[in-house]
Structures are given as structure tokens and as C-alpha cells.
Amino acid sequence: MRNTWTICAKELRSYFVSPIAYLLLTMFALIFGFFFWNALGYFVIEGMEMQMRGQSFPMNINEQIIRPLLSNVSVVGLFFIPMITMRLFAEEKRSGTIELLATSPVRDVEVILGKWLAAMILYACLLFFTALNFAFLFRYGHPDWKPLAVGYLGLLLQAGTLLALGTFISTLTKNQIIAGAATFGVCLLLWVLEWTSGYDSSAWAQVLSYLSVITHFDSFARGVIDSKDVIFYLSGIFLGLFFTARSMESLRWRA
Amino acid sequence: MIIVKDLTKRYARHVAVDQITFSVTKGQIVGFLGPNGAGKTTTMRILTCFLTPSAGTASVAGFDVLEQPLEVKKRIGYLPETPPLYPEMETTEYLRFVGKLKGLSGAELEKRIDYVCDRCFVADVKTKLLGKLSKGYRQRVGLAQAIIHNPDVLVLDEPTAGLDPKQINETRDLIKSLAGDHTIILSTHILPEVEQICEQVIIINQGKLVATDSVRNLQARTRGDESLLLEVAGPADPLAVQQRLETIPGVSRVQLHDSKDVGMVFEVQSQKGQLVRGDLARAIVAAGWDLNELRPAARSLEEIFLQLTGAPAPAEPEKVQI
């Protein structure tokens, strides 16, 4: 446990002494800020139109702002995750520092967990900026905080899965660009798989759609914790980290 | 302290280490000698539990590398060929990170950091970024990292490669000074380095063990017939000089190596056990020529391999990377 934290602290530090973390935080804050501004703009215009027409449809901040925005974050996150994970192992392999980690009295699983945890924490920092925007809603409106919290739980679980897969992919190469590109491809694929359910209802399409990480986020965005989706993400995390461990072990045999 | 038995490492296409057997006793400095690609790094990586052997066993301080890798790792300090440094860390920060990984903490860790910084002469770059250090400093920080947890065994992979002559000497002295507390196994392809530092030598070539011997025995074995380089100042007739030298008793062969304006260089080989240096010098001077230089021809490792294996030195195979 102590070793895990040592590794995690070291990874966090290298994120934050290099421009990576600040670049990601800036980009993410900008992009999300733009989404937030748009969503809020539509909401306000809609509200005014309803008043002018004299209709009184119930307007709901949670349903009309928070839910679509959380879904946006889950998709935008896909684009940022490769940039977080690509260096985790590829960089160590390229510079030879992997020899230090692999010959220190530390278990592989401690190294892997430490790195994954650092990636999770950086992702959580990105989410923190979205939370700043949502804070305004609480200042001027009365959204329900519980669905929002559930939404964040879902985002973290979804990112956990993708970060674990990205960590695994990073062990396969010593080239960060390759690791990043491959992770990006996987993330994108795990998003668009969902589309199959739109036009095809065969068993295959359902399986593919089930594999999409986005499908399982819907319930969280609605503010519902569905154990089926929690289990999907937890098994995704486990699988990714398990593959990482196997890959690290195979280094000892192959290299 | 280190026992290696029938150790073999096979890769997909070739055998990197082939049934090597040797042992190292406590407190010794052992030189691991061989041309590039001989299997030195592979063997060291197996000893440090970075790689697993395909066959055979290796144990460090009584712990098997396959059965109890964590125990082995606790007792080994390892400096890989390229020091495993994180360029974005400062020296003390890096040593603190490594120390924690090796199980140190608190006041003891801080004490060890100060100690290894002094010991390895990196105290003046404590707050510098590792990425900004010169090659010599990087190597020494690498050494400091290897000894931070005061390991029983030190494994150093070409610790002097790529350093300038002054740094090479400093590093050698440093390694020698560490010998008392640690059992050291260091790899190199430079013969004089082994002669200077080590007590025991293990020579491998193409993955096979060629010889394990003490340095003194090795020197005796390879210096049977002596080969000297002799430079005579011009102008003189090379042929006349060569003929004169050949008449000296004990000389078996004289060869003109090089002929320049300043002088000509001959390689003189003497028979085993014959000391001919004095006679050579006297003969040159007596004939009225000027003797510029007389020195033993430095033997390259390749020549030793020729002698020990009776086979031509191997072409350098592709270096195996992770």
C-alpha cells in the first residue's frame, strides 16, 4: 500500500511538473465551459419563449442542463484519456527507468495500481473544473444534488475502465505516440459501438452495444445507480489492470 | 553470496546465455568480461530479477531469483547500463523516491540520502534537475541510487561506459572504495578496467562461459609471449632496423607497423618467458639510432578471446533491448 502511494505520488508529480496536466486542465475547462454556456443559453431562451407563449411546461435544471452536460463530459473525456495514460509505462520503457521499478522490492501490482490511481486523480482534477461550472447552477437555481453526485460517480467509473485499458496499452510499446493513438482508437470504438443498437436489433448488435462504455453511462446521467452498470465498469477496470499485470510479467520472459 | 548454476536464457531467435555456472563469495569484486552482446547484461538482469531464466538457477544471498524475487531485490543494488533517472526530478528527490521503493523511510532515509550523496560525490548537485546533469554526474547518481539501501550485492552494468578519462578514474576509485561493504559484480568490455578494480574475472562470449579466474592468473595466461611496440626515430633504413632486431636472442618475430616522418613503429614479439626489452633498447642505441618509444602492445579483449577460445572474435550481434 505504501509502495502504491509512493508510485502514485511520483506519477502525479511528473504530471504536474510538466505542462501535460496544465494543458489538459486548460483545454478541458475551456471545452466544458463552452458546453455549459451553450446549455445554459438554450435553457434561458426556452424559458423566456415559454413565458411569452403563456405556457407553463415544467422546466427542470437536472433534466435539461445537468444530464446532457454529464453525457457530454463522458464523451469529451474519451479524447483526454489517451493523453493521460500514454506515458505511464511507455515513457519508463523508453528511458530505461522500468528497470529501476522492476528490480525494486515492489510488487508489479503495486506499481500498476499506483500509476492507475495517479491517472484517476488527474482525471478527477479535470472533473473538478466541470463542478465549478455546476456550482453556478446552485447559486441561481435549485437543482437536485443527488443525481449530479451519481453522475460524477458514473464518470469516474467510466474513466476508470478506459484509464485501465490505456495503462495496459501503454505497457505494450516504448513509443508514447503509438500508445496514445492506440488508446484513442480503443476509446473511440468503445463509444461508437453504441450506435449499432439504433438500427439493428440482432443479438450481435446488442452485444456490441452492450460493450460500449457510453451505453452504461446513461443510467448514471439520469441519476440512477444501476448495479448492472457498476459491475460493467468495475469488471472493465479489473480486466484492464489484470492485462497490465500480465503484460508486465511477460516483459520478464520476453525481453 | 551469488550462486549461478546452468543458467540459460533463450530468446525467440537466439540463446543469449547458455548454461553459465559460477559463484561469487562475499565481499569480492568480480569483473564480468565479454564483448558487446556476449550476454553480460542478460545475466545481470536475471540476477536482479528483471528477467526470468529459461533454465537453470540463480540465487543471491541464499534466495532464489524465481522463488523469492522480493527478498533478492531487497538485497541487490542495480545500476543498469543507462542510469534509470527521471529527468524531471531533482537529485535528492529522486534518491528519496528510490529509497522509499527500497523500503527506507523517515530519518533513516534522510540519513542515507546524505550519506550516499557524500559517498558518490553528488552533494553539490543535490537540488539540480537530473535531466540537466552531465554524463559523469548521471552515472554517479545512478551509483548513489544503487547503494541507497546498503545492499549486500551491487550489480553494475558497464559503470564507466561513456565517461571521460577523469570520470572513469573517479568512478573506478569509487567502486573500489565500496568493495569492503558490498559484494560487487560489474560488467565491462575493457580489460584494464578489470585489472584495476577486480579480484576475480568471469569471461563470457556468445553466451558461453569462457573462463573464471583470478585477475593475476588471467594476466599470466594472456601474457605468455610478450608483444612490444617499438618506435625508432628516422631517418633510418627500416629494413636494416628490422634485420638488427631479428638477431636479438628471444625475439620471434618483427613486423614493421607504420612508417612516418617522425619514426617507424615495429611490433616485436618475444618468446615465452624471455625478457627482451633491455636488449632491444641497447641494440637500437648501439646502432646509432634514436629510440623514441618502447611499450608493451595493449592487448585488446578480442586478442584474449582468440587465445582463450581459439576462435576469432565474434562479430557484434544486435543488442537486445527491452
What are the φ and ψ backbone dihedral angles of A26, each rounded to 5 degrees? -65, -50
A255 part of contact set with chain B, CB < 8 Å = yes
Question: What is the pLDDT of chain A when averaged over all its residues?
Answer: 90
Cell matching residue B145: 541510487
Q: Is the pLDDT at B266 greater than 90, yes or no?
A: no
ipTM value, please give it: 0.88
Instruction: Choose the weakest-confidence range: A44-48, A91-95, B65-69, B148-152.
Output: A44-48
Q: What is the pLDDT of residue B306?
A: 65
Q: Which of B49, B89, B100 lies at the smallest CB-CB distance from A103?
A: B49
As a whole number of angstroms, the distance between CA B145 and CA A3 comes to 17
Does the domain at residues B2-221 carry the CATH identifier 3.30.420.40?
Answer: no
Q: Which residue in B259, B261, B260, B268 sits closest to B230, CA to CA?
A: B268
B49 part of contact set with chain A, CB < 8 Å = yes
User: pLDDT tens digit string along B2-61?
Assistant: 899 999 998 888 888 989 999 998 888 998 888 778 888 999 999 999 999 999 999 998
Q: Where are the domains of chain B?
A: 2-221, 224-298
Q: What is the pLDDT of residue B310?
A: 58
Q: Which DSSP string corresponds to B126-192? A: TTSBGGGS-HHHHHHHHHHHHHTT--SEEEEESTTTT--HHHHHHHHHHHHHHTTTSEEEEEES-HH
Confidence of residue A47 (pLDDT cuts 50, 70, 90): confident
Between the alpha carbon of residue B162 and those of residues B62, B82, B146, B166, B181, the distances in Å are: 34, 10, 19, 12, 26
Q: Which DSSP string corresponds to A145-169? A: HHHHHHHHHHHHHHHHHHHHHHHHH
As a whole number of angstroms, the distance between CA A11 and CA A123 comes to 13
Instruction: Tell me the mean pLDDT in the region A56-60.
Output: 74
Q: Which of B48, B84, B322 lies at the smallest CB-CB distance from A251?
A: B322
Do the domains at B2-221 and B224-298 have one common CATH topology? no
User: What region does A96 belong to: left with phi over 0, alpha with psi -120 to 50, or beta?
Assistant: left
Q: Is the pLDDT at B301 greater than 60, yes or no?
A: no
Instruction: Choose the weakest-confidence range: A191-195, B6-10, B233-237.
Output: B233-237
* B85–A97 CB contact, under 8 Å: yes
A:B CB pairs within 8 Å: 82
Q: Which runs of E-coded beta strand occur in chain B?
A: 2-10, 15-24, 29-33, 55-60, 63-64, 76-79, 153-157, 183-188, 200-205, 208-214, 227-233, 251-259, 263-270, 290-296
List of chain B residues whose C-beta atoms are within 8 Å of the C-beta of residue A100: 78, 80, 84, 98, 101, 145
Instruction: Tell me the mean pLDDT in the region A110-133.
Output: 94
List of chain B residues whose C-beta atoms are within 8 Å of the C-beta of residue A255: 51, 320-322
Please tell me what DSSP assigns to residue A65: I
Does the domain at residues B224-298 carry the CATH identifier 3.30.70.3190?
Answer: yes
Do A206 and A199 touch, CB atoms closer than 8 A?
A: no
Q: Which pTM value belongs to this model?
A: 0.83
List of chain A residues whose C-beta atoms are within 8 Å of the C-beta of residue B17: none
List of chain A residues whose C-beta atoms are within 8 Å of the C-beta of residue B50: 99, 102-103, 252
User: pLDDT tens digit string along B267-279?
Assistant: 887 776 667 778 8
B212 part of contact set with chain A, CB < 8 Å = no
State the Cα angle at A167 between A164 and A170, rounded to 5°: 155
Instruction: Look at chain A and count its residues.
Output: 255
User: pLDDT tens digit string along A63-87?
Assistant: 888 888 988 898 898 899 999 999 9
Q: Which residue has the higher pLDDT, A203 or A23?
A: A23
Cell matching residue B3: 550462486
Q: What is the pLDDT of residue B225?
A: 60
State the Cα angle at A93 between B33 and B76, rounded to 5°: 50
* B73–A103 CB contact, under 8 Å: yes
B84 part of contact set with chain A, CB < 8 Å = yes
State the Cα angle at A122 between A121 and A128, rounded to 5°: 85
